[in-house]
């Protein structure tokens, strides 16, 4: 073959890997001269350090491989023919994205965003008390929690935890009031400019109110009480302390969902790039960070809060607890780890089938954030996207998806009524690998648990904290010491070998059982679940004590208009993973007799709180209402109760 023929063959091979649109966009002189992109790069462009596509860095490849540089061979040709198989990297881990990240993540102060619904009336203490009166009349206890946003309208890991916590407290007969600032931000509220609070009671938005009005409304509480801090972003610590003192709880719980108690940079990433281990605030290691100047004042406000309120600190993993304790050195009554959820095998289910195609399916779950490893995932897509051996996916809320070449985007949202939506989406797509690439020690990582429940293995970094601990414990994935090692795992073909080997072993069908919130802390010392209904009766919102006759409950109505039948309640799917029933079930009623007449299903006297979709069993939802106007005596037969969580 002559030199010209060899050159033509090389250009033909390069043509499939030179992105002309990219080349012209980044080299306007070549575009203006109307030169052929493949011809220019193949003959002179690579010698000038120009890049042929988004995933190959010419200069990095030559600098990192002096043997190729000395050989005079076109670096992209070498990578195509031998370099990829030899495990050589097409680009520096992080690449251009890392440089951009360094600029973006060192902005010292966040932008404050108004998050409250428009035209919402501001409530005073009397209006708050009126909104809570009905639920508190029947409550066994009262829980107040605070976090950085409204968990009803924002999805995420912490929000899912709060939603589950609310359901469990409600299931135990407790009222649950959640507060979040009307202005979202990533720091504490400015002193003297604390925002109003958004109020959500038992899963329903009831309005906004100044902290002073909420404090005034709490002074009359006669119930067992607990106060919970999930996150403090956007809050004034003195206001949070005032709320806790007004609730006067027997238990004050502070969750270590992140490391905000140690620094405004709540992931402890120095300048947004590398884990800093929370050095002393006066050290040079701290002062070189964008958060160094504000950290002493931030720590002083945190110490003031912990000095006023005797918190029990709870972390969702031992990894998080150890880091939080060392980084903060704040006083507490007790500190413990309590995992949010655990994997449960679904016995009797067939193994998950392998994907119908031969390609390996790799997924990134969540929004395209640098602190979740999006730049590194992008490197992987640039390096291998378009190759038939791989399919890349992003799963996230619709508004967080980033459609692009060689990436399939899938909308999936975890909501209070669909807590396993992400597990189902990953399972339906037959994902082989989920990338959990956080460069900071995650305190829990719901994504990691969702991936394992969906039958995928997890590829993560040793710096990721609890994800790395979970992978090591379950042997369901690989932990890499850095980005280069992870990219080499794919470039060398080892990822293909690993995935093909795991496909030959049938994956056990699993699901997630939510087990760890403030509501279940007391259950750690005793039975986690119960079938004791804690049955109570209210006549016109006043407690009534029934007589027992041959197993029945007999109530003298005494001129009342409405009966409320209260009990513990839970959805079967929340306590038994093999169940799919998400109805909130309280007690099953065998029969209701009013003045000697048995009440038939569908009778107009049935109010809210009844499940009438099962003709064999009349279930309540834990708070069922019945019109008893004109009735003298009611006889009620409770046939059995739902399995529920032990709360107190």
Quick: pLDDT tens for 377-407. 988 998 888 889 999 999 999 988 989 889 9
The tokens of 136 are what?
Answer: 């508190």
Q: What distance in Å separates the CA atoms of residue 544 and residue 557, rounded to the nearest whole number?
A: 9
Question: In whole angstroms, how large is the CA radius of gyration of the chain?
Answer: 30
pLDDT band, very low/low/confident/very high, at 134 (cuts 50, 70, 90):
confident
- Computed from CA positions of residues 412, 401, 376, 353, in that sequence, does the dihedral angle turn out positive or negative? positive
Read off the pLDDT band of 97 (50, 70, 90). very low
Exposed e or buried b per residue across 507-518, where buried means at least 16 C-beta atoms within 10 angstroms of its C-beta: bebbbbbbbbbb
pLDDT value for 103? 41
Q: Where does 144-277 have alpha helices with state H?
A: 157-171, 211-218, 237-247
Local confidence band at 102 (pLDDT 50, 70, 90 cut-offs): very low
Give the pLDDT mean for 495-517.
86
Q: Where are the domains of the chain?
A: 3-91, 113-263+300-343, 350-508, 529-645
Question: In which band, very low, low, confident or very high, does the pLDDT at 3 lie, cut at 50, 70 and 90?
Answer: very low
At 8, is the pLDDT very low, low, confident or very high (cuts 50, 70, 90)? confident
pLDDT at site 42: 93
Q: pLDDT per residue over 409-420, tens digit each?
A: 999 988 877 888
What are the Cα distances from residue 417, in Å, to 160, 367, 581?
10, 21, 11
Residue 32 has pLDDT above 60, yes or no: yes
Q: Please give the full DSSP string across 509-568, using - where no structure is assigned.
A: PEEEEE--SGGGSGGGGS-SEE-----EEEETTEEE--EEETTEEEEE-TT-SEEEEE--
Lowest mean pLDDT among 21-30, 326-335, 375-384, 457-466: 21-30
CATH architecture of the domain covering 350-508: 3-Layer(aba) Sandwich (3.40)
pLDDT of residue 120: 84
Tell me the C-alpha to C-alpha distance, in Å, between residue 224 and each of 135, 139, 168: 14, 9, 16
Give the pLDDT mean for 4-27.
80
Which range, of 308-312, 361-365, 443-447, 519-523, averages the lowest pLDDT? 519-523
Its sign, for the CA torsion 326, 327, 329, 331, is negative
Per DSSP, 439 falls in state S
Cα gap 227→249, rounded to integer Å: 6
Query: Are 544 and 144 within 8 A, CB to CB?
Result: no
pLDDT value at residue 349: 62
Q: How confident is the model at residue 234 (pLDDT cuts 50, 70, 90)?
A: very high
Over range 111-139, report the average pLDDT: 85
Which residues partner with 510 through β-bridges?
Answer: 345
Confidence bin at 61 (pLDDT 50/70/90) = confident
The predicted structure's pLDDT at residue 519: 94
The mean per-residue pLDDT over the stretch 195-206 comes to: 95
Q: Which of 267-271, 516-520, 522-526 has the lowest mean pLDDT?
A: 522-526
> Given a cut of 70, is residue 108 above it in pLDDT?
no
pLDDT at 46 (0 to 100): 92
Q: What is the pLDDT of residues 614-633, one digit of tens each?
A: 767 899 999 999 999 999 99
**Token reading at 154:** 């924002």
Q: Write out the H or E segment, with its range, that includes residue 573.
A: helix 572-575
Q: Note whether 163 and 416 are within 8 A (CB).
A: yes
Mean pLDDT score across all residues of the chain:
88
Lowest mean pLDDT among 47-61, 92-106, 153-167, 547-561: 92-106
- Distances, alpha carbon 460 to alpha carbons 185, 430, 564, in Å: 29, 19, 51
- What CATH topology corresponds to 113-263+300-343? Rossmann fold (3.40.50)
Confidence (pLDDT) at 354 = 64
Distance separating alpha carbons of residues 568 and 530, to the nearest angstrom = 9
Question: Mean pLDDT, to the nearest integer, of 436-451?
Answer: 95
> For residue 601, what pLDDT is reported?
85
Mean pLDDT of 588-609: 92
Q: At what angle do helices 483-491 and 494-503 cross, to 10 degrees?
A: 70
Q: Measured between alpha carbons, how far is residue 66 from residues 71, 90, 358 in Å?
A: 8, 14, 36
Residue 18: pLDDT above 70?
yes
């Amino acid at each position: 073959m002559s030199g010209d023929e060899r050159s033509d063959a090389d250009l033909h091979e390069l043509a499939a890997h030179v992105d002309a649109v990219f080349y012209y966009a980044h080299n306007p002189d070549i575009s203006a001269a109307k030169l052929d992109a493949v011809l220019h790069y193949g003959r002179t462009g690579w010698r000038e350090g120009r890049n042929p596509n988004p995933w190959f860095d010419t200069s990095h490849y030559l600098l990192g491989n002096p043997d190729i540089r000395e050989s005079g061979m076109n670096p992209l040709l070498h990578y195509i023919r031998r370099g990829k198989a030899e495990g050589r990297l097409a680009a520096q881990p992080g690449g251009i994205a890392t440089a951009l990240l360094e600029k973006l993540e060192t902005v010292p102060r966040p932008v404050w965003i108004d998050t409250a619904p428009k035209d919402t009336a501001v409530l005073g203490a009397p209006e708050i008390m009126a909104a809570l009166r009905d639920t508190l009349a029947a409550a066994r206890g009262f829980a107040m929690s605070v976090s950085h946003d409204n968990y009803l309208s924002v999805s995420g890991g912490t929000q899912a935890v709060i939603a589950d916590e609310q359901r469990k407290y409600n299931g135990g007969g407790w009222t649950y009031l959640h507060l979040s600032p009307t202005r979202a931000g990533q720091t504490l509220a400015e002193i003297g400019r604390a925002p109003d609070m958004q109020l959500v009671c038992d899963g329903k938005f009831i309005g906004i109110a100044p902290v002073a009005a909420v404090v005034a409304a709490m002074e009359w509480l006669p119930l067992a009480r607990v106060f919970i801090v999930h996150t403090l972003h956007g809050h004034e610590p003195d206001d949070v302390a005032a709320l806790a003192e007004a609730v006067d709880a027997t238990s004050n719980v502070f969750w270590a969902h992140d490391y905000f108690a140690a620094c405004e940079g709540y992931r402890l990433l120095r300048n947004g790039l590398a884990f800093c281990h929370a050095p002393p605030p006066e050290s040079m290691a701290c002062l070189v960070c964008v958060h160094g100047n504000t950290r002493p004042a931030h720590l002083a406000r945190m110490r003031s809060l912990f000095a006023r309120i005797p918190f029990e600190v709870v972390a969702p993993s031992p990894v998080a607890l150890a880091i939080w304790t060392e980084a903060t050195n704040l006083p507490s009554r007790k500190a413990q780890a309590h995992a949010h959820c655990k994997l449960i095998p679904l016995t009797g289910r067939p193994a998950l089938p392998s994907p119908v195609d031969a390609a390996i399916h790799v997924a990134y779950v969540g929004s395209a954030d640098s602190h979740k490893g999006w730049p590194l995932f992008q490197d992987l897509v640039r390096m291998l996207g378009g190759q038939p051996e791989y399919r890349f996916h992003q799963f996230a809320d619709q508004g967080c998806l980033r459609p692009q070449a060689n990436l399939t985007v899938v909308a999936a949202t975890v909501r209070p009524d669909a807590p396993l939506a992400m597990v189902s989406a990953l399972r339906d797509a037959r994902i082989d690998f989920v990338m959990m690439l956080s460069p900071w020690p995650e305190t829990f990582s719901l994504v990691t648990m969702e991936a394992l429940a969906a039958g995928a293995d997890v590829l993560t970094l040793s710096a990721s904290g609890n994800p790395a601990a979970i992978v090591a414990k379950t042997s369901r994935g690989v932990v890499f010491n850095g980005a280069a090692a992870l990219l080499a795992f794919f470039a060398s073909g080892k990822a293909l070998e690993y995935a093909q080997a795991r496909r030959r072993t049938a994956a056990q069908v699993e699901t997630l059982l939510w087990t760890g919130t403030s509501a279940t802390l007391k259950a750690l010392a005793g039975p986690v679940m119960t079938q004791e209904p804690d049955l109570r009766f209210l006549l016109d919102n006043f407690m009534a004590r029934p007589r027992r006759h041959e197993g029945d409950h007999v109530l003298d109505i005494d001129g009342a208009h409405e009966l409320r039948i209260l009990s513990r309640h839970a959805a079967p799917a929340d306590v038994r993973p093999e169940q799919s029933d998400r109805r909130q079930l309280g007690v099953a009623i065998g029969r209701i007799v009013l003045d000697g007449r048995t009440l038939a299903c569908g009778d107009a006297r049935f109010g809210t709180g009844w499940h009438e979709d099962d003709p064999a069993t009349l279930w309540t939802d834990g708070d069922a209402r019945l019109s008893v106007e004109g009735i003298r005596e009611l006889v009620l037969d409770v046939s059995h109760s739902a399995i529920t969580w032990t709360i107190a």
